[in-house]
Structure 1
């Protein structure tokens, strides 16, 4: 067996995390295969983690913590690393989104909190055009955020979506069918409401998300291609609320939107 590749733990946060995993594994005399079996991943993935080339998301890092007895150290490192990899303009919004009590969204794509893993991956391959491992990490983080629906009191979400997204084949017909079925299933959650903007309505070239926080504060996030902004300044929030309200008024009713969704699902059969 070739000697283990040396890794400088000071090279990056991912390298430091990988160094800690390898150190604790070797301290126990475990092989990468054995450690992988304990946390339900392959030996190859363990190798990549230890080399710092494919760091774990917080959920996987938490499994390493439990197996290696590190009391949350790796999970905390993974969270810091994850935050570092999020674009600066989105950090405040994503942090607030996780604690929000209500979200009123306007999207030209399917919102991330409602996306399937296949749809998210296909969408990111189009807009990110990055390395496969990088895209995989983005997808993992996006899907992990859907844990908000497992809260004892899930957030209220009212999403207004451009109806054109139903016919925009992203990732293939099977991926689209699975995504639309997922949306239908999410609508069974009392807190989730969807409405579609018909083709006759004006659609802005971007997305708006209005957040209401537990203390009553409100924020507004806007996003276009490769750029975005988050504000909690009252006048800015009020301005985006007016844009949302104007377009929401032109959306199909909830019942008509569900009928449209059902027809779209049938179209992908």
Structure 2
């Protein structure tokens, strides 16, 4: 996270809880119903509409389970008005892997299928000194292959101060990764795992990106929802933002960017990587904002 005057930015990597034995325990109940509009109040009275609501819900469930159930219920109720439910017989489309050549435009499903094996999930462990005590921390992010022999590109802030880095592939295999080098100013890092036959991405030309162009981010949001894709458009190009006193010109996008997406690829509709997901704009003058990410 970094702050520029009244603008608050968050790096989009997920940092785990610090295991500090003397830290106070947060007793807030996060399982509380977020839709409860009457917190701490007296129990709500159950009106007569509850039964009708249940009947409507049951009818909807019956309709979704199958047309024959809905037809049977309708037939039992009346012999005059027959109700039929149309059930789609559309088969699930089989998405074909398309070779990324920079010339063939793809659907977003094809972009995902053609590139998901190039994306990796990164989990980092670090040991820090917290008021004289050793504290274990964990973080997660995303990366992608740039060579067949296991070189991976990600963000510097994902692996900074790491004592160990593990990389998980789309097929579920996990490898220990070595940090080859990184640049804090440009927020870039290169990792290496011992693997052959990896599928590298195809790098595009970010200078040719146009506002309104479709883009997709594939990453590891929250460190758990691995290999998720979010779709959006380019909102602005060459957007100048200030990171710790260093100006950057970045691509602004409106696709969902969350903690754990950092270091992941931003694809165009040709399946090429045109940026590295780095940060999201989370607030402005104490106002929460959504749909503003940077690569």
Q: TM-score range, shorter-chain basis?
A: under 0.3
**Bigger Rg, structure 1 or 2:** 2
Q: TM-score, normalised by structure 2?
A: 0.21
Larger relative helix fraction: 1
Larger relative strand fraction: 2
Q: TM-score, normalised by structure 1?
A: 0.22
